[in-house]
A = this chain, B = another copy of it.
């Protein structure tokens, strides 16, 4: 399972609203969108890394959140066609900047 983005993460955790809000609060407090990020300094940014709209570019907070939140891939065992997730485990997608269309690639290895 691989997510093709730098400002969203796929994670396995409990699908519980309170926890999701705890995480959001913590991000908003510790890796706030209002901090000064060099990534958001468009004057000094390499033009090759410039995105289409200014809004898309100003996401320094999301990159840092992504770095601390985990990897881009997760490998889940499958048995008889079922994901072998634990009782409380669910696959969650966390948007670290703002919601948009996302692309995820699922690859399967092993015997049928």
A28 within 8 A of B: no
Copies in the complex: 3
A76 close to chain B: CB less than 8 A: yes
A60 closest partner in B (C-beta): B22
Cα distance, A46 to B20, chains bound together (Å): 13
Q: How far is the CB of A106 from chain B (nearest CB, A)?
A: 9
- Report, as a range, how many residues of chain A touch the other chain: 35 or more
A2 contact set on B, CB distance < 8 A? 75-77, 84
Contacts of A72 in B (CB 8 A): 12, 74, 76, 89
Question: Per-residue CB proximity of A69-112 to B under 8 Å, as 1/0?
Answer: 11111111100000011111100000000000001010101100
Minimum CB–CB distance from A68 to chain B (whole Å) comes to 6
